[in-house]
Amino acid sequence: MTVTVRDADAELDAGACAAIYAPYVTDTAISFEQVPPTREQFAERIRNAQREHAWLTAQDDGRVVGYAYGHRFAEREAYRWACEVSIYLASEACGQGIGTLLYTTLLERLAARGFRTALAGVTQPNPASASAVPAIQGPAPGCLSASSR
């Protein structure tokens, strides 16, 4: 396995990212979406994220096996240097350190663009995602209780 991380290409990578994301929408409560976005919607999401933040893909021998991106956390000016980050991996890519590699690279890229705070929402229970925070030496997670009520 040879994993590389690179900037996403909206036209080339949107289909693979959509395919990775779809099971999170249809089979879990992780995404908070009801219907998997289309390839075209993913291409737009990639372009939007890359305007000010970043969208990266992890590739194993040329095949996209995961992606991570940053986007605006909140609209108010005081949050201009804060962003929300997300990561999604193909099921076969979990537990191999690819998530940590993606997050580390993403956080470096965002820091280089001036962002100072990165926040990630993790739906619980989700041991794989929860374990990524200590792996990248982030702070202990906080909880938003009753966010779905």
Q: What is the mean pLDDT of residues 121-144?
A: 63
72-100: pLDDT as tens digits: 999 999 999 999 999 999 999 998 999 99
What pLDDT shows up at residue 148?
44
What pLDDT shows up at residue 147?
47
Q: How confident is the model at residue 121 (pLDDT cuts 50, 70, 90)?
A: confident
Residue type, 113: R
Q: Which helix (H) or strand (E) holds 10?
A: helix 10-27
Q: What is the mean pLDDT of residues 112-140?
A: 74
Cβ distance 102 to 87 under 8 Å? yes
Cβ distance 118 to 137 under 8 Å? no
Considering the entire predicted model, what is its pTM?
A: 0.88
Q: How far is CA 108 from CA 44, 78, 80, in A?
A: 23, 21, 17
Cβ distance 105 to 69 under 8 Å? no
The residues near 120 (Cβ < 8 Å, ≥ 6 apart) are 84, 85, 86, 87, 129, 133, 138
